[in-house]
Amino acid sequence: MNQIMKKYRLLIVAFGALLITGCSDFLNESDPSNFTEGTYFTRPEHARASVNAIYAPLREITASGFGGGPWVMTEFATGQAGTDLGQAASSYFVKDLVNTAENSYGTSYWQQYYKGIGNANLSIAKIPGIQMDAAESRKLLGEAYFLRAWYYFTLVQLFGNIPLITEPVKLDSDQLRPSQAKPEDVYALIVDDLKKAEEAGLPWTDVSGKVSLGAVKSLLAKVYLTMAGYPLQKGAAYYDLAAKKAEEVVDSQQFKLFSSYYDLHDPAKKNIEENIFMVQFKTQIIPGNWQELIIPYNKGISAYSAETGGIYATNEFVKSYDAADLRAQEGQFFFTKFTHEADRKKEVDLGGYFVYKLFDVAAQTSTANSDLNWSLIRYADILLVFAEASNEVAGPTAKAYSAVNAIRKRAKLPDLTGLSKDQLREAIWKERWHELCFENITWFDMARLRKAFDLTTKRFNEFVGHKFTYGNNLVLKERELLFPIPAYELKNNSNLERTPGY
């Protein structure tokens, strides 16, 4: 935490200067390279640049290479992913249930997301003091509140008792080495931030990829759904809140499911239709950075020089889909064969189920420079949030069936009908597992439900005691409901307590 707080205060200055160096007025400043926190926040463009900097840590989690990538942490924790990348030790620590506080993935999440929180705190504190259009100021603050909520929502789910910091931290501040807060207090801030963002005047959609009202309401629905489950267990009242908030998104008619699964990894579909909120990338400028990790190991199919085999689906997971499910068929969510890089007429057997829904075809076959965005919230998720939450409140209803059956229809599966509340509950969970796999969602579902999907029986087990289908008696324990607070942070902040079990 100490390291993070010493860095974040000047990050926005560097980022802001980068964004606006083409502005002639800015070039007339006496010494633009010598901005401080006290002198920077004076113009509307400074406000915009400071908020832009809050987005930046989102990209760091998808960064991937021979050492793996932080985003795979929650995928290996499901027991549904494999890897051939032997040197990515952090992947194996999680995958084989021997994780430690030294895991580099957890450290990346902690450091990057607290950097984002620090930048959000600074923008929230400083933007109100800038003379600028009032409506634009409210919108910028709405983006900052949403992003702070996103970072805290992810961190509290991953690590449990975490520091709660809401103001800029100076070197002499007590919060430089903060103590941990109760999860309920963190969730209270998250909800409050998202309610403020709701009232900020943001548009329902934003094709440029900035925070929109649709993203705010969608995240609030997901937060309420999580609060209804573990660890807070707020139950029926929060299922009702989740259902109503998700219903606002559905009833807005601003979003729709893609007609083809290919659209999920089509750069032309950025920030529209099903894509409610995404991490922004741009080929030749800030290209998508996970492509090398999802390529089969040294099969010679890619324009990228490194083919790492860093993550793929286990055979058992893909076989858990119904036989008629389009998502499990070749070239939909997964692929088992592809053309050879030296001869595109030659087909290569890949020897496993690799993740096609994250695969940039143009980058892999020609440019080695991805133009794909990374999806954080898509409409399919919100339909399933509504279906699950509304079923908990009122049992099976026509609208709940309509939401889940829209997902199934695209997958070429028959409509669900005539189910009990308990049967529909498990059917919706199963759709979440199969629809949202490899999007950093499944483990969070496991933690809030305390359930795990049995790939053999296709039913749901209790989380504690669930056995993975690979390895030698790999059984989830209570400690796996959280990831450990990083050892580096424990070493530099004596006010932090070690995560139980690690």
Write the DSSP assignment of 436-479 as a string of letters: STTSS-HHHHHHHHTEEE-TTT-SEEESTT-B-SSTTT-B--GG
Is the pLDDT at 433 greater than 70? The verdict is yes
What's the pLDDT band for 481 if we cut at 50, 70, 90?
very high
377 DSSP assignment: E
Phi, psi of 183 (to 5 degrees): -55, -40
pTM, two decimals, is 0.93
CA 481 to CA 446: how far, in whole Å?
8
CA 446 to CA 461: how far, in whole Å?
10
What's the pLDDT band for 170 if we cut at 50, 70, 90?
confident
Q: What is the three-state SS of 94-112?
A: HHCCCCCCCCHHHHHHHHH
The kind and range of the H/E element at 378 are strand 374-378
Angle at 414 between CA 408 and CA 415, to 5 degrees: 75
Is the pLDDT at 11 greater than 70? The verdict is no
For the chain, domains (ranges, CATH) are 2-202+484-492 (1.25.40.390), 285-372 (no CATH)
Position 468 scores a pLDDT of 98
Is the pLDDT at 342 greater than 60? The verdict is yes
95-127 per-position pLDDT tens digit: 999 999 999 999 999 999 999 999 999 999 999
CB-count exposure of residue 1 (10 Å: 0-12, 13-18, 19+)? buried
248-272 per-position pLDDT tens digit: 999 999 999 999 999 999 999 999 9
Angle at 297 between CA 293 and CA 299, to 5 degrees: 125
Half-sphere exposure of 340 (CA within 13 A, CB side): 7
55-78 per-position pLDDT tens digit: 999 999 999 999 999 999 999 999
Amino acid of residue 58: L
Helices (H), 277-338: 315-319
CB-count exposure of residue 470 (10 Å: 0-12, 13-18, 19+)? middle
15 DSSP assignment: H
133-149 per-position pLDDT tens digit: 999 999 999 999 999 99
- Do the beta carbons of residue 171 and residue 4 sit within 8 Å? no
Position 64 scores a pLDDT of 94
Is the pLDDT at 341 greater than 70? The verdict is yes
Range 466-485 average pLDDT:
97
CA 72 to CA 232: how far, in whole Å?
26
- Do the beta carbons of residue 277 and residue 147 sit within 8 Å? no
Is the pLDDT at 2 greater than 50? The verdict is no
Q: What percent of the chain has pLDDT over 90?
A: 90
Position 16 scores a pLDDT of 40
The answer to whether the Cα torsion of 129, 132, 135, 141 is positive or negative is negative
Letter string b/e over residues 52-78, b meaning 16 or more CB atoms within 10 A of that residue's CB: bbbbbbbbbbbbbeebbbbbbbbbbbb
Task: Assign 141 to helix, strand or coil.
Answer: helix
Least confident stretch, 27-41, 144-158, 294-308, 440-454 = 27-41
CB atoms inside a 10 Å sphere around CB 398: 7
Position 173 scores a pLDDT of 79
What's the pLDDT band for 13 if we cut at 50, 70, 90?
very low
Beta-carbon contacts of 286 under 8 Å, excluding residues fewer than 6 positions away, are: 59, 280
Amino acid of residue 7: K
Position 174 scores a pLDDT of 79
Strand partners, 343: 340
Is the pLDDT at 14 greater than 90? The verdict is no
CB atoms inside a 10 Å sphere around CB 43: 18
Position 4 scores a pLDDT of 44
Position 15 scores a pLDDT of 39
Is the pLDDT at 6 greater than 70? The verdict is no
CA 374 to CA 219: how far, in whole Å?
16
17-45 per-position pLDDT tens digit: 333 333 333 333 444 445 667 779 999 99
Cis peptide bond N-terminal to 231, omega within 30: yes
Position 9 scores a pLDDT of 42
What is the layout of strands, in order, in the sheet containing 81-82?
A: 81-82, 312-313, 343-355, 334-340
